[in-house]
């Protein structure tokens, strides 16, 4: 027998207590029993992953549904406008048109005109209401038949294009975008965002809706009644403008909130049916993301007009000083230099001050304000110089704009 082999056998017998096993270093130990907590954690992880997947799919569906609906109804492409993409100051004319209200189905007027601006660098926004009865040089009529009319008639004459041109000329400010909202949409829009909270200035009732002074939550039906009431307001149309700005501001704040995203189908339906705009979906998305800080510093106001009677009709005439003040405010927030107003409205004011001795600080309604001929220092044929009376020109012929003026104010 090999001596070495005998020695190995003796070694194994003498050291059997070590329980040595062949390849023991490479043998896998029996897997320990896993605690139940690991199984629960794994299930929760799987559910979380599925939730994220479903959320991503739903968000994508939301994005493309809104994208298609908003861009499709306006005929716009999906590109983000250069100004908005570059976070530049912008202006938007908000038009509330009265189609579909009280059985109307014609073009209608823009009973609500609000020029809004937003400056993301300053985080500042402005909302300037323009009274619907403000006397203005109506732009956008290809035949130039209309001259100095109530500003809300611009929409009836040439839609949002004429309205934008008229407001832009009145205040010497560029208007980048428009948002034309059918008043019929207000009820649905307010309901879609879960209602709005406003500070009611005084107690009143209108259209079977009761309002009490102080904070009040409004649903869609109450919101429509709230912004339409005018005759019971001691401030008349100016009080109504204040309430309109309240509701529009409240809707804008809630529309930018993620809390309303679950109602996107309702919002899509409303946009498709009742809202016209030249903003694309990407514009709106960028506004919500990059301009929302402006809402924290929102300054709202209105153009204060002076009561006047022209051919027996009540008109609001804004003084040159008032128009200049509002022009300066708007241009400043748009990052533009202030400019002295020089338009048809300021010319009419100057001629009335020089020839008719109109006193702008007189609180009584003007009865001697006249509309002068275009490019002339002669009053329009038939333009009133007293309350309800007509100062007919001695000339045998009158301009077409003079005839239109008379027809409009009858």
Which distant-in-sequence residues (6+ apart) come within 8 Å of 217 by Cβ?
195, 196, 197
CA neighbor of 367 nearest in space, from 393, 401, 390: 390
**pLDDT > 90? residue 54:** no
**pLDDT > 60? residue 22:** no
State pLDDT tens for residues 164-198: 999 999 999 999 999 988 877 788 888 888 899 99
pLDDT in the model for residue 361: 93
pLDDT in the model for residue 3: 60
Mean pLDDT of the chain: 77
Q: Is residue 213 part of a domain?
A: yes
State pLDDT tens for residues 339-376: 999 999 999 999 999 999 999 999 999 999 999 988 88
| Alpha-carbon separation of residue 48 from 43, 55, 57, 261, 295 (angstroms) | 9, 10, 14, 21, 35
pTM metric for this prediction: 0.73
Q: Is residue 298 part of a domain?
A: yes
pLDDT in the model for residue 378: 81
Q: Is residue 375 part of a domain?
A: no
Q: Is residue 381 part of a domain?
A: no
pLDDT in the model for residue 288: 80
Lowest mean per-residue pLDDT among 61-70, 201-210, 267-276: 61-70
Q: pLDDT-based confidence at 275, cuts 50/70/90? A: confident
- DSSP character at residue 301: E
Q: Is residue 25 part of a domain?
A: no
Q: Is residue 327 part of a domain?
A: no
Q: What is the mean pLDDT of residues 135-163?
A: 85
Which distant-in-sequence residues (6+ apart) come within 8 Å of 364 by Cβ?
307
Q: pLDDT-based confidence at 136, cuts 50/70/90? A: very high
> What is the rounded CA–CA span in Å between residue 18 and residue 15?
6
Q: How many domains does the chain have?
A: 1
The whole domain housing 289 covers: 62-306
Do 128 and 140 form a contact (C-beta atoms < 8 A)? Answer: no
pLDDT in the model for residue 274: 80
State pLDDT tens for residues 208-259: 999 999 999 999 999 999 998 888 888 888 888 889 888 888 887 777 664 4
Q: Is residue 43 part of a domain?
A: no
- Containing H/E element for 286? helix 281-290
What's the CATH number where 197 sits? 3.40.630.190
State pLDDT tens for residues 215-226: 999 999 999 999
Q: In this structure, which long-range contacts are made by residues 153-162, counting pairs with CB atoms below 8 Å and at least 24 apart in sequence? A: 153/109, 153/408, 154/110, 155/95, 155/97, 155/107, 155/108, 155/109, 155/110, 156/107, 156/108, 156/109, 159/107, 160/93, 160/95, 160/276, 162/138
pLDDT in the model for residue 221: 92
> What is the rounded CA–CA span in Å between residue 401 and residue 3?
134
Q: What is the mean pLDDT of residues 382-393?
A: 44
State pLDDT tens for residues 93-127: 999 886 554 444 445 667 789 999 999 999 999 99
Lowest mean per-residue pLDDT among 43-57, 165-179, 312-326: 43-57
Q: Is residue 129 part of a domain?
A: yes
């Amino acid at each position: 027998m090999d001596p070495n082999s005998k020695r190995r056998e003796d070694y194994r017998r003498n050291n059997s207590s070590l329980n040595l096993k062949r390849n023991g270093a490479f043998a896998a130990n029996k897997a320990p029993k896993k605690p139940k907590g690991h199984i629960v954690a794994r299930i929760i992880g799987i559910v979380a992953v599925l939730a994220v997947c479903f959320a991503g799919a739903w968000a994508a569906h939301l994005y493309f549904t809104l994208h298609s609906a908003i861009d499709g109804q306006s005929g716009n492409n999906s590109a983000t406008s250069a100004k908005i993409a570059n976070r530049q100051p912008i202006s938007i004319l908000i038009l509330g048109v009265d189609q579909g209200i009280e059985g109307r189905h014609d073009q209608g007027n823009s009973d609500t005109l609000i020029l809004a601006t937003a400056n993301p660098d300053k985080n500042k926004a402005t909302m300037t209401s323009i009274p619907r009865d403000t006397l203005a040089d109506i732009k956008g009529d290809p035949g130039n038949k209309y001259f100095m009319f109530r500003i809300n008639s611009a929409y009836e004459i040439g839609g949002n294009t004429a309205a934008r041109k008229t407001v832009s000329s009145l205040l010497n400010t560029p208007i980048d975008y428009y948002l034309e909202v059918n008043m019929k949409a207000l009820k649905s829009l307010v309901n879609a965002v879960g209602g709005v909270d406003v500070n009611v200035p005084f107690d009143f009732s209108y259209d079977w809706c009761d309002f009490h002074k102080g904070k009040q939550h409004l649903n869609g039906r109450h919101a429509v009644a709230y912004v339409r009431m005018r005759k019971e307001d001691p401030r008349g149309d100016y009080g109504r403008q204040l309430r309109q700005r309240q509701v529009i501001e409240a809707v804008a704040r809630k529309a930018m909130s993620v809390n309303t995203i679950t109602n996107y189908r309702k919002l899509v339906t409303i946009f498709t049916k009742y809202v016209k705009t030249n903003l694309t979906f990407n514009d709106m998305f960028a506004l919500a993301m990059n301009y929302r800080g402006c809402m924290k510093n929102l300054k709202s106001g209105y153009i204060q007009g002076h009561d006047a009677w022209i051919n027996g009709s009540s008109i609001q005439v804004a003084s040159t000083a008032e128009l200049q003040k509002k022009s300066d405010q708007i241009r400043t927030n748009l990052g533009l230099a202030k400019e002295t107003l020089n338009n048809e409205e300021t010319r009419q004011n100057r001629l009335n001050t020089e020839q008719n001795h109109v006193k702008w600080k007189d609180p009584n309604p003007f009865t001697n304000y006249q509309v002068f001929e275009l490019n002339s220092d002669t009053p329009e044929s038939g333009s009133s110089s007293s309350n309800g009376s007509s100062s007919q020109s001695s000339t045998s012929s009158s301009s077409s704009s003079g005839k239109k003026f008379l027809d409009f104010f009858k």
